Structure 1
């Protein structure tokens, strides 16, 4: 791999990471203010994942099941890309408060939805606010904390997904089981109000440094192309003819390539130039992040499979699925203190663990080779935990590599680019998951069709972390 900026590119090249006591001692409320938005974002993800089977039973729209994630994340891309510009124009605190207001407005729309179209509109509004919240967490880390505290702060951001595994499935599952799934969205509003108060108190101009570098222009045309490419792939799942589905996927890929070519020719970039070159550290890290996130998108359909094939109730399905996020959080928190060769080993080992976990899920989920029961349940939860652990154990060090590889003046751009790549991979993965599941016969109904869709979806998506194994080795070679 060629080195794209300073010599301090690896997690172990800088001073040893600060301890948790330093981050959560005098800076604890500032850290909570910074990461609370990600916690709300993650809680919402688990709420929606848990209640979606109940939603489609109530208002219909099974064919658009994956669109709830696809539109949410496609809109999040726009929110994420706008973060740097809005921070420069409004300041960090005002941008954060606006993000919370948008997120809450979307929750109100979703909770009052009478049709799938209305629901999807609410998810799009939520997505814009969610993209801002997700990007703000990474964008504020280098503006609030010293570089040696970055790995811990990044791990804390990832750890918010662990908080979501406690609250999200519980809130979604309890309300879905009682037939009141709408209230699950309204339950977020008090948490949003509390987070807004904390942001107002902790993230004022006195505590947040100004970002270096020139003011960022907003590449609205390229954002639109990126979001449109995802929507085209999602539309393929609704196509009646194979040729039309193929045309939608091809058009989506071409739009993404066109966006990349335009971005490389502009001074105001959506992503750093090095992110498009896979032989650079930045490019390899971004590719690895994208593959790991795409592989995790099978999570969208897991509650549906667990309820339909293994007899889970909504609450049980939500908590079982949350094992993936719990593994991610435990991996990030447990491995964030490593540095040097140990940190690089986590980057290499993570995709191997994720591939193993997903391959086991592909074997277990159809309930054909091992019947549903206590043993299968335990192995499914174990496989989900291993899958999440594989993402989390190298995640803080991948993100730290990208931040250290940023060119002077591109720190803010790199921070937002990490989130943009993560969200694009999530949106594209959700769209492809919907396409694969529908093509495998999910919409036909019945246990046999559901089992076939589960096997095809999980087997194909295992290829993403398998490919990340080779990318991760390339990122860490000779470092």
Structure 2
């Protein structure tokens, strides 16, 4: 649905725009009819909301950085390398369900209630993982974390779409990307040290108090963001059933791939049939065929996350298993990609008013492809470890360029009363891509370990596949809308 179909009378005055989507303004930064300039994320009117969203993203970032760093140690301790990929796939399959529920509910009742429920489930999942006696229970805890964590991206995108003027959205996405910097700088090394000296269980358990601290301020701020006055979403129950079918179907496909047997082929067939129709219903029409328009943008998001997270999950394993380096060395790669992702995100925010969104996305996807190809050199002992880590940093830069503009593009082409549902579609594609990428990678690594006693061949397969998928995404996004986002004013991003 194009931006021209929006109903301006349903938007707050500061969000109303011309038919091209930009607020009319004169040289001074005020509208040509005397309106004040769009509030920046740090304007007093939005500051509490911005701080709340940033604190919640920071919490999720600490969890992500910590868990991916210690996963090799967890798998070793619980003798669960065969389920290594499932620790990430399970999280994102749970996230897939959580984001659909939270997106629909945010359109129906506002953002505060679904975020509260999500954070409670997220904390419960951390507790289960911290106490897990085996790898299966750990995976179950990760699924529960994902179910609750799904509220965060759905609420984030919907709130940015409703509360922030369109010219400020790229900047707000860059602000939330910056929330990953501190966790990226200290999270991996801290997690490695905690796992080494106190045990990996404290990595999960130590995050539980942060859930309450970060969530309280965010929920309070979200209560000031009204729910849409016009509700145009399907009832939640059918969407929940559809999301469950997609999640279970994807899980069956991954289980079949992991089994590598005749019964496994049956699981793949059953899972595909179970997920296909509801997936079509939950995504914009034509997404699975990359139809020109926002469908192509949503499809590109899934290919992007498949390529990046399908590699990212196995970066620490490649460094610790293939190069036999300690976890603290692997944490350097995790930190590097986080910093460059943030750099790329701020770069796209600065270019958003001059470069079409699909150009930024395509450039980012090509960088992900090239950077992943370079990181594959980690499997060559003769290459200094600094080289693949530097290449992995290039991949982070590509993610920063491509990740947020997809959400901005979809929000700009969707009427405000459907921002929650549109956010769910973007995040659904995001999570499904991640789950399939990490699941296929996990199957390849498990097969390599079983056949050769090392994961090296499986890791090479993972890296080759994700390079191809990222390049495919760069082709698909050429079918997305060619839209240049309205330029933000020159007000500093933070005060």
TM-score range, shorter chain: 0.7 to 0.9
Say which of 187, 210, 222 aligns to 2:228: 210
Say which of 475, 479, 483 aligns to 1:470: 475
CA, structure 1 residues 341+361, in 2 after alignment: closer, same or farther (shift >3 Å)? same
**What SS does structure 1 have at the residue aligned with 2:314?**
helix
How many residue pairs end up in the alignment? 456
> Which structure carries more relative contact order (alpha carbon 8 Å, separation 6+)?
1
Paired with 1:471 and 1:84, the residues of 2 have a C-alpha distance of 25
Q: Within the alignment, does 1:6 sit opposite 2:11 as a pair?
A: no
Q: TM-score, normalized by length of structure 2?
A: 0.85
**What SS does structure 1 have at the residue aligned with 2:268?**
helix
Please say which of residues 426-435 and 287-296 is displaced more in the overlay.
426-435
- Deviation (angstroms), 1:193: 1.9
Aligned to 2:157: 138
- Deviation (angstroms), 1:7: 5.2
Structure 1 runs not aligned, ≥5 long: 264-269
CA, structure 1 residues 88+392, in 2 after alignment: closer, same or farther (shift >3 Å)? closer
Paired with 2:354 and 2:108, the residues of 1 have a C-alpha distance of 41
CA, structure 1 residues 279+87, in 2 after alignment: closer, same or farther (shift >3 Å)? closer
Q: Within the alignment, does 1:309 sit opposite 2:327 as a pair?
A: no
CA, structure 1 residues 29+237, in 2 after alignment: closer, same or farther (shift >3 Å)? same
Q: TM-score, normalized by length of structure 1?
A: 0.87
Aligned to 1:279: 291
RMSD: 2.7
Aligned to 2:461: 456
CA, structure 1 residues 211+314, in 2 after alignment: closer, same or farther (shift >3 Å)? farther
Aligned to 1:338: 351
Please say which of residues 422-431 and 188-197 is displaced more in the overlay.
188-197
| Contact 1:331-1:389 within 8 A present in 2 as well | yes
| Contact 2:194-2:203 within 8 A present in 1 as well | yes
Q: Within the alignment, does 1:22 sit opposite 2:18 as a pair?
A: no
Paired with 1:49 and 1:23, the residues of 2 have a C-alpha distance of 30
Query: What's the CA shift string for 1:248-299, capped at 9, x where partnerless?
Result: 33443333323245x2xxxxxx233364562332111011111110001211
User: Counterparts in 2 of 1:65-464, with a 5 A limit?
Assistant: 65-87=84-106, 91-204=110-223, 206-210=224-228, 212-214=230-232, 216-218=234-236, 219-241=239-261, 243-261=262-280, 263=281, 270-273=282-285, 275=287, 278-296=290-308, 297-344=310-357, 345-362=359-376, 364-368=377-381, 370-371=382-383, 376-407=384-415, 409-439=417-447, 441-444=448-451, 446=453, 449-464=454-469
Aligned to 2:11: none
- Deviation (angstroms), 1:341: 4.7
Aligned to 2:493: none
| Contact 2:170-2:408 within 8 A present in 1 as well | yes
- Deviation (angstroms), 1:65: 0.8
Paired with 1:198 and 1:126, the residues of 2 have a C-alpha distance of 20
| Contact 1:50-1:303 within 8 A present in 2 as well | yes
Paired with 2:75 and 2:342, the residues of 1 have a C-alpha distance of 30
- Deviation (angstroms), 1:148: 2.1
| Contact 1:144-1:208 within 8 A present in 2 as well | no
Query: What's the CA shift string for 1:331-362, capped at 9, x where partnerless?
Result: 11222122355244322311111111111122
